[in-house]
A and B are shown apart, each in its own frame.
Chain A
Amino acid sequence: LAKTTQPISMDSYEGQEVNITCSHNNIATNDYITWYQQFPSQGPRFIIQGYKTKVTNEVASLFIPADRKSSTLSLPRVSLSDTAVYYCLVRYNFGNEKLTFGTGTRLTIIP
């Protein structure tokens, strides 16, 4: 299982773009990169998933360089409601492989 490393915490002001980088040096060829958001006392919520280059959806973008050893979650124009813990995970997408969570990044948005 690929191990991930991300900053423990980050602060940002409302309205700014936030970029959270995750390193996954031993990612395997068939692994996908997935980001989850978790609010207190709730289960993790899927944000975005990608394999390479760039993926964008209505809430975030995911940038993955060619070597795939890291990825960056980009949250545009954050608001107070984006205060949460963000987890980066890698997983073999075509099977039922278990998912192991790292420490996550605790993002605090400042008014």
Chain B
Amino acid sequence: GAVVSQHPSWVICKSGTSVKIECRSLDFQATTMFWYRQFPKQSLMLMATSNEGSKATYEQGVEKDKFLINHASLTLSTLTVTSAHPEDSSFYICSASIHNSPLHFGNGTRLTVT
């Protein structure tokens, strides 16, 4: 079946630094990828929709200048958390869409900002 790979699986960074998270579709081409954030004991919250070759579409309340999304190829989307702060600590999950098929999710990235 389709596989979505996320890297890194966890990262610790200092406040004020930037962190990049990669999401790859390993055996299929994904024109659309989605980025979610999940806080402990809560559901997944959609942050943005990443479209290959065009600008991402952000959900209301998500700062596009803070969460930079790049979808330069059909197999790779990246999320960069810029100037990270402790409140950005969360579990970030990407998913990829194939036409006429269920969404496939990566295994998530645990970000801890100290």
B67 within 8 A of A: no
The answer to whether A94 and B99 touch across the interface, beta carbons within 8 angstroms, is yes
A31: min CB distance to chain B, Å: 13
Contact with B along A32-43 (1 / 0, CB 8 A): 001010000111
Cα of A93 to Cα of B4 in the assembled complex, Å: 19
Residues of A within 8 A of B107 (CB): 42-43
Task: Give the A-binding residues of B (Cβ under 8 A).
Answer: 4, 6, 31-32, 34, 36, 43-46, 49, 51, 91, 93, 95, 97, 99-108, 110
Residues of B within 8 A of A34 (CB): 102-103
Binds B, one of A18-26, A64-72, A75-83, A96-104: A96-104
Give which listed residue, A46, A49, A91, A102, contacts B104 with CB less than 8 A. Answer: A46
A7 within 8 A of B: no
Residues of A within 8 A of B91 (CB): 41
Task: Give the B-binding residues of A (Cβ under 8 A).
Answer: 34, 36, 41-46, 49, 87, 91, 93-96, 98-104
Give which listed residue, B34, B51, B108, contacts A99 with CB less than 8 A. Answer: B34
Residues of A within 8 A of B97 (CB): 96
Name A100's closest neighbour in chain B (CB-CB).
Answer: B46
Residues of B within 8 A of A104 (CB): 43
Residues of A within 8 A of B45 (CB): 101
Residues of A within 8 A of B46 (CB): 98-101
B53: min CB distance to chain A, Å: 13
Residues of A within 8 A of B43 (CB): 87, 101-104
Given contacts A43-B95, A104-B43, contact A99 B103 (CB under 8 A): yes
Name A94's closest neighbour in chain B (CB-CB).
Answer: B100
B65: min CB distance to chain A, Å: 21
A61: min CB distance to chain B, Å: 16
| The 10 A-B residue pairs with the shortest CB-CB distance in the complex, in nearest-first order | A43-B105, A96-B32, A101-B44, A101-B43, A43-B107, A43-B108, A44-B105, A43-B93, A96-B97, A46-B102
A7: min CB distance to chain B, Å: 14
- Apart from A43-B4, A96-B51, A101-B36, 5 more pairs, CB < 8 Å: A42-B108, A43-B93, A44-B44, A44-B105, A102-B43
